[in-house]
Amino acid sequence: MFIKTFSNFINHDFHAIITVGTYIVLAFGTSAHILIYKNDARSAIGWIGLVFLSPFIGTILYIFLGINRVKRKGSRLRKKISLSEKYAYEAINNIFKNLPINYKQFITFGYNVYPQAFAFNNSIEPLQNGTEAYPKMLKAIKNAKREVLISSYIFDHDSETIKFIDAFKTAVKNGATIKVLVDGIGTLKFFHRSIEKRLSKIYGVECGVFLPPHIPISIPFVNLRNHRKIMIIDGKTAFFGGMNLSKKNVFTHSLKNGILDITFKVKGSVIEQMVEIFEDDWKFAVNTKFQSFAKTVNHAKEGTLPVRIIPDGPDNKHGIIELIITGAINAAVKKILIVTPYFLPENNILTAIEMAAMKNIDVEIIIPEKSDHKILNYAIESNFLRLTESGVKIYRTSYPFDHSKIFIVDNEWIFVGSANWDERSFKLNFESNMEIFSKNLAKKLTEIAEEKKKNAKLTTIYECKQLSFLKRIRNNAYRLLTPYS
């Protein structure tokens, strides 16, 4: 009896030692990986804390959700225009010779962040909501003769998008080939993607799904989404921005279901840069390489605007869009206008905005009063006091929910596209924005923003300070739920 009891004690103690030893090895090994590959201090501290305070579970979560496994050959092999001294001199001193020195420095900075050349002779037309955008999209698709390329985070199957299905059929009859790329999570409805099945039944239409959620294989990638919205017709006309394909973008008077948004009709040589992004995304999602017909299009002089496309994603070592935004804020001397559905940037951007306001730069931020994600309402409010105390004006628009994205500096430099002002867009999603120099377009977009302000409430310092202690704790707690990268 004694021997049996002693044996059980030894076995139990041995198992405990093995368990503790395994935990220590995994915790320190995982922490070493975090310290090497996580550049963001808050993210690294958060993951290390989770690993040590949640034995085994923390390590498992980091392995599945914390490690970026997306390495796309397309983005690595794509030949970008390198920043040589000669090219920089010509671009800044000749092409942008009338710009002040701070903008010339900012352009140099932008080329170093992402060495993509500006394309010239482009025209850009802002289109508000599906009521303006969808008819022009449908007309362009129906008139397509060679090729239609569409990338959308959300492509609902509803009474409005069925019109796109009919347009695809017309384009196919015209001889056009159609490729539609949707995101695996963005189009997920009750664990199925109805639009994918519908598109696959149409002759001449290919549908690809970006990182479909096949459990358990895709669990490590569940946070990495293709958030881009690009539509290219025959290489000559493009629609680019942040608007999804859904009837909600047409029901703009529905306070409960409507969504306000903006996209841009683009003509000119910058479309070639959009095509490169689509080709890379298609190759990654479908594992089939193709070369777009748009590469052979000879673009006429459609306008006068210098434009370049800035793609970004977790396969980049540094957040390109986040760096461009920070640089633009620091280059501002007169005014900063931000319109975004989600405003949860990290401290580097918040500090840059505060410093701009302290220099008497007019800083305006327009965001929805109520987000479509309730938790974000509280998290976003956590930054209001520090911003308003610095002189930043925060306007909150009432329903319907405003999904528009506009960033303008000094009434001339414009940055629009799919990216929101939060860490999900800056570090987790695949995004694409458009950098533009245009006083006329900036004026049009500012007028759109002014209309939004008429339906908005200005956040005051007094209001922020009156927030109860418990609500401040709640807001800051929810802010910590911002996805770790």
φ and ψ at residue 150, rounded to 5 degrees: -135, 130
pLDDT of 92 reads 58
Q: What is the model's pLDDT at position 199?
A: 84
CATH tag for 320-479 (out of 2.120.10.30, 3.40.640.10, 1.10.357.10, 3.30.870.10): 3.30.870.10
Mean pLDDT of 52-75: 65
Structure confidence at residue 42 as a pLDDT band (50, 70, 90): low
Q: Is residue 363 over pLDDT 50?
A: yes
The pLDDT of residue 222 is 57
Of 380 and 356, more confident: 356
Cβ neighbours, 10 Å, residue 323: 20
* 435's tokens: 């950098």
Q: How far apart are CA 431 and CA 142, in angstroms?
A: 27
The amino acid present at 41, given as its one-letter code, is: A
H-run or E-run covering 456: strand 456-458
Tokens of 196: 């994918």
CATH number of 123-305: 3.30.870.10
- pLDDT at 380 (0 to 100): 78
Tokens 């003509």: give the residue: 267
pLDDT reported for residue 73: 42
| Per-residue pLDDT band at 296 (split at 50, 70, 90) | confident
Report pLDDT for 79: 43
Spatial contact of 324 and 310, defined as CB atoms under 8 Å apart: yes
pLDDT of residue 294: 76
Q: Do domains 123-305 and 320-479 have the same CATH topology?
A: yes
**Residue 75: pLDDT over 60:** no
Query: Other CB atoms closer than 10 Å to residue 37's CB: what's the count?
Result: 11
What is the arithmetic mean of pLDDT over 349-364? 95
* Burial status of residue 61 (CB atoms within 10 A of its CB: 0-12, 13-18, 19 or more): middle
- Name the pLDDT band for 87 (thresholds 50, 70, 90): very low
Least confident among 82-91, 163-172, 345-354, 391-400: 82-91
What residue segments make up the domains of the chain, in order of their start?
A: 2-66, 123-305, 320-479
Residue 482 or 134, more confident? 134
Question: Which pLDDT band, with edges at 50, 70 and 90, does 425 fall under?
Answer: confident
Residue 114, helix vs strand vs coil: coil
* 6 has a pLDDT exceeding 60: no
- Please state which of the ranges 75-89, 195-209, 248-262, 460-474 shows the lowest mean pLDDT: 75-89
Q: Is residue 210 predicted with pLDDT exceeding 80?
A: yes
Assess whether pLDDT exceeds 90 at residue 474.
no
Asked if 268 and 178 count as a contact pair (C-beta separation under 8 A), the reply is no
Question: Which runs of consecutive H residues, i.e. helices, occur in 209-346?
Answer: 271-286, 320-331
- Is residue 247 predicted with pLDDT exceeding 60? yes
Label residue 81 by pLDDT band (50, 70, 90): very low
β-pair partners for 260: 402
The per-residue pLDDT for 223 is: 63
Instruction: State how far the Cα of 35 lies from the Cα of 399, in Å rounded to an integer.
Output: 43
The mean pLDDT of the chain is 82
Least confident window among 181-190, 303-312, 414-423: 181-190
Higher pLDDT, 188 or 370: 370
Q: What percent of the chain has pLDDT over 90?
A: 43
> Taking 70 as the threshold, does the pLDDT of residue 334 lie above it?
yes
> At what angle are helices 374-381 and 469-479 packed, to 10 degrees?
110
Predicted confidence band of residue 192 (pLDDT cuts 50, 70, 90):
low
Q: DSSP 3-state assignment of 68?
A: coil
Residues 90-96: what's their mean pLDDT? 62
- pLDDT of 336: 97
Q: What is the predicted pLDDT for the residue at 444?
A: 97
432-440 average pLDDT score:
95
pLDDT for res 476: 67
Q: In the structure, what pLDDT confidence band is assigned to residue 80 with cuts at 50, 70 and 90?
A: very low
Better pLDDT: 190 or 112: 112
Average the pLDDT over each of 72-76, 189-193, 419-423 and give the range with the smallest value. 72-76
Give every CB contact of residue 281 below 8 A, 6+ residues apart in sequence. Answer: 74, 151, 181, 210, 226, 228, 430
- pLDDT recorded at residue 2: 43
Q: 192 or 118: which carries more pLDDT confidence?
A: 118
pLDDT at residue 197 above 90? no
- Among 74-88, 200-214, 294-308, whose mean pLDDT is lowest? 74-88
